[in-house]
Amino acid sequence: MSGLQSLVDDFLSQRRIAVAGVSRSETNSPANLIYRKLRDAGYQVCAINPHTDSVEGDHCYPNLSALPTRPDGVVLATPPKATEGLVEECAQLGVARVWVHRSLGDGSVNEKAVALCREKNISVIAGACPMMYCAPVDFGHKCMRWLLRVTGGLPK
pLDDT in tens, 35-45: 999 999 999 99
The structural architecture, per CATH, of the domain 3-151 is: 3-Layer(aba) Sandwich (3.40)
Indicate the pairing of strand 16-20 with strand 73-76.
parallel
pLDDT of residue 147 exceeding 70, the answer is: yes
Please state, in angstroms and rounded to a whole number, the distance separating the CA atoms of residues 15 and 1.
22
Q: Which amino acid is at 67?
A: L
pLDDT of residue 18 exceeding 90, the answer is: yes
Q: Is 11 helix (H, G, I), strand (E, B) or coil?
A: helix
pLDDT of residue 141 exceeding 80, the answer is: yes
Per the CB < 8 A criterion, the answer to whether 78 and 108 are in contact is: yes
Per the CB < 8 A criterion, the answer to whether 102 and 128 are in contact is: yes
